[in-house]
């Protein structure tokens, strides 16, 4: 095998990481009032919808909630306080992201566990296949085949 020319690949990695770095540079999260209303609203279920968030629903109650969030944002409340106020009025079932505590481990933890097990199993199986010797015909096998051929 010829020597791996690493330089082009290192350069590639630098470019990719650089682009990602620029893209994810934290500018403090959503800054404008609108952005904050949208981001908080996207985690709250609209009161008379099935699963739509307050941020995207166009029902009257969703508009009322958005207006309320806006008032609270302008009054300086934090995201957590606003969400808690909403949950106080409406109960946990109106959060679109189920909490991680209590039963929440089922919905947050199980998939991760399943993935770890699945990926681990896959890697282990691939390793085992590489380690096991390939099937090679032994001389006894060759003799058997020759015999069968002659029998025909």
Partner 1 sequence: MKHPLRWVTIGVGSLVAVFGIVLSTQMGTSPLFTGGPILDRTAPAFDLPILDADGARVDISSLAGKSVIVNFWNSWCLPCKEETPALKAFWARHANDPDFAMVGIVRDDITSEVRRYVRKEGLEYTIALDPKGRAALAYGTTGQPETFAISPAGVVTGKQLSRVSVNDLEALLGSARAG
Partner 2 sequence: MTAAFGVMAVALGTSASLLGIATLGLGLRRKDPKLLLLGRRYVYALLAAAILAVAVMEWALISHDFSLRYVAENNARGTPLLFTITGLWAALEGSILLWGLVLAGYLAVMVHHFRRRATDPLVAWATIIGLLVALFFFALMLGPANPFRVMSTIPLDGQGPNPLLQNHPLMAFHPPMLYLGYVGFTIPFSFAIAALITGRFGEGWLADTRRSTLVAWGFLTAGIILGAWWSYEVLGWGGFWAWDPVENASLLPWLTGSAFIHSVIVQERRAMLRVWNLSLVVATFSLTILGTFLTRSGVLNSVHAFSESDIGPWLLTFLGIVVATSIGLIAWRADGLRAPGRVDSPISREAAFLGNNLLFAGLAFVVLLGTLYPILAEALRNQQVSVGEPYFDTMGTPIGLTLLFLMAAAPALPWRAASGEVVRHRLSVPAWIGAATMVVAVVLGTRGLAPVVAFGLAGFALANITRTVWVALRARRRAHHEGWFTAGRRVVSGNPRLYGGLIVHTGVVLIAIALASFETFSTRSEVRLERGQSTEVSGYTVTFLGTELDRSAQKVTKSAQLRLERGDDVLGVYAPSISSFPNSSQGIGTPSVRTGITEDVYLTLVSSPSASDRVTIGVAVNAMVLWLWIGGGVMALGTVVALLPVRRRERTDDEPARPPAPPPEQVAAVGEEVPA
Binding site for partner 2 (CB under 8 A): 1-2, 4, 8-9, 12, 15-16, 19-20, 22-24, 34, 38, 42-43, 45, 50-53, 56-58, 63, 91-99, 102-103, 106-107, 110-111, 114-115, 118-119, 122, 126, 129-130, 132, 135
Query: Among residue numbers 93 through 132, which ones bind partner 1 (CB under 8 A)?
Result: 93-94
Token pair listed for 47:
């009161």
The string of DSSP letters for 18-49 reads HHHHHHH----S--SHHHHHHHHHTTBB-TTS
Verify binding: residue 63, partner 1, rule CB under 8 A: yes
Nearer to partner 2, 20 or 146 (CB): 20
At closest approach, how far in Å is the CB of 87 from partner 2?
Answer: 11
Nearer to partner 2, 132 or 147 (CB): 132
Verify binding: residue 141, partner 1, rule CB under 8 A: no
What burial class does residue 30 get, using C-beta atoms within 10 Å of its C-beta: 0-12 exposed, 13-18 middle, 19+ buried?
A: middle
Q: Spell out where 85-127 has E strands.
A: none
User: What is the C-alpha separation between 61 and 45, in angstroms, rounded?
Assistant: 11
What burial class does residue 139 get, using C-beta atoms within 10 Å of its C-beta: 0-12 exposed, 13-18 middle, 19+ buried?
A: exposed
Q: Which stretch binds partner 1 (CB under 8 A): 9-17, 90-98, 101-109, 135-143?
A: 90-98
Query: Which position has the token pair 């909630």?
Result: 65
Verify binding: residue 58, partner 1, rule CB under 8 A: no
**C-beta neighbour count of 38 within 10 angstroms:** 17
| Residues found near partner 1 in the complex (CB under 8 A) | 47-48, 50, 59-61, 63-65, 67-68, 88-91, 93-94
């Amino acid at each position: 095998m010829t020597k791996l020319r690493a330089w082009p690949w290192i350069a590639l990695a630098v470019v990719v990481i650089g682009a990602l770095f620029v893209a994810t540079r934290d500018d403090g999260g959503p800054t404008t009032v609108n952005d904050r209303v949208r981001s908080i609203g996207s985690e709250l279920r609209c009161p008379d919808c099935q699963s739509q968030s307050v941020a995207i629903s166009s029902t009257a109650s969703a508009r009322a909630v958005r207006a309320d969030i806006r008032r609270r944002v302008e009054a300086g409340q934090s995201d957590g306080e606003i969400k808690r106020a909403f949950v106080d009025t409406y109960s946990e079932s109106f959060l679109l992201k189920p909490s991680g505590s209590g039963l929440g481990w089922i919905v947050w933890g199980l998939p991760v566990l399943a993935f770890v097990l699945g990926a681990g199993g896959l890697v282990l199986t691939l390793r085992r296949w590489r380690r096991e010797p390939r099937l090679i015909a032994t001389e006894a096998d060759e003799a058997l085949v020759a015999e069968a051929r002659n029998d025909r």
